[in-house]
Amino acid sequence: MKPALHAMCGRRRGFSLIEILVALVVFAAMAAITWGALGQIARTRSALAAEQDRFGAIVRGMGNLERDLRQAIARPLRGNYGEPVPAVLGFGDRIELSRLGYANPRAEPRSNIERVLYALDNHSLRRGRYAVLDRAAGSVPEWRDLLDHVAEFRLRYLGMDGIWREQWPPRDAAPEELPRAIELRMHLDDFGELRRVLSLPSTIPARGVGARGSIDMPALPPGPMPVLLPSGGRP
């Protein structure tokens, strides 16, 4: 009985030092692999979240600009020193326009037309707005940043004659005349070039052309300049 008891006690001994070391090495290798995989997943999720935030900022910035352009209205105004300013004043790298849709939830005694500006400043696309339409001498716009990492911001303007121009309005255009469309090109450091061609609301022509010739529009009565609403627009 004693030899069998000694044999059973020998089989119940713990792991040897070599076995423990091998197990530790295997566990450490598996832990290192798992940690690396978890770290890669965390980095991927962080990169995807950053890309999502960036894409959301681009969509919001472009949405603001497109909304303002599509709500453009033929409303000229007076500048800081009383000079006439056309409804759309555009250059190759900036634009200023009058737009509808200026929300007035508290029913304040003011217009629902807003004067807005877009310009590129230090690789940042910025939107400005004036508190009033016809300005005083000290009127300045309030600016906010819409989109950063913008390498280039370019605009072109399509007239009713079908010609693209780098500036608006042309010399022979009325101050309330809007371009037929605006081409927007914006080059981002991380997303490359974005391009949009946006149609604008048409202004009421001073002379309508029919199949048999031209028809004169009735003359407007004297008084303040009327506000021309775009097709389907609301005051």
CB-based contacts of 90, cutoff 8 Å, min separation 6: 96, 97, 155, 157, 167, 168, 179, 182
Distances (CA, A) of 7 to 10, 15, 164: 5, 16, 100
Helix (H) or strand (E) holding 90: strand 88-90
Residues of the chain with pLDDT under 50: 204-235
Strands 192-199 and 181-188: antiparallel
Give the model's pLDDT for residue 31.
81
Q: Where are the domains of the chain?
A: 62-205
pLDDT given for residue 35 in this prediction: 81
Report the pLDDT value the prediction gives residue 208, as an integer from 0 to 100: 38
pLDDT for 218 equals 38
Closest CA to 88 of 78, 98, 80, 79: 98
- CA torsion sign, 158 to 159 to 164 to 170? negative
pLDDT at 126: 95
**Rounded CA gap, 26 and 11, in Å?**
24
pLDDT of res. 27? 80
Task: Choose which CATH entry (3.80.10.10, 3.10.610.10, 2.20.25.10, 3.40.50.2300) describes domain 62-205.
Answer: 3.10.610.10
Distance CA 91, CA 119 (A): 10
Q: Which of 154, 158, 165, 170 is nearest to 200 (CA)?
A: 158
Distance CA 224, CA 109 (A): 18
pTM of the model: 0.67
Q: What is the pLDDT of residue 230?
A: 39
Give first-to-last CA distance, the chain, whole Å: 107
Q: What is the pLDDT of residue 73?
A: 92
pLDDT for the residue 13 = 67
Q: Do the Cβ atoms of 99 and 111 come closer than 8 Å?
A: no
Centre a 10 Å sphere on the Cβ of residue 119 and count the other Cβ atoms it contains. 17
Residues 6+ apart with CB under 8 A from 110: 104
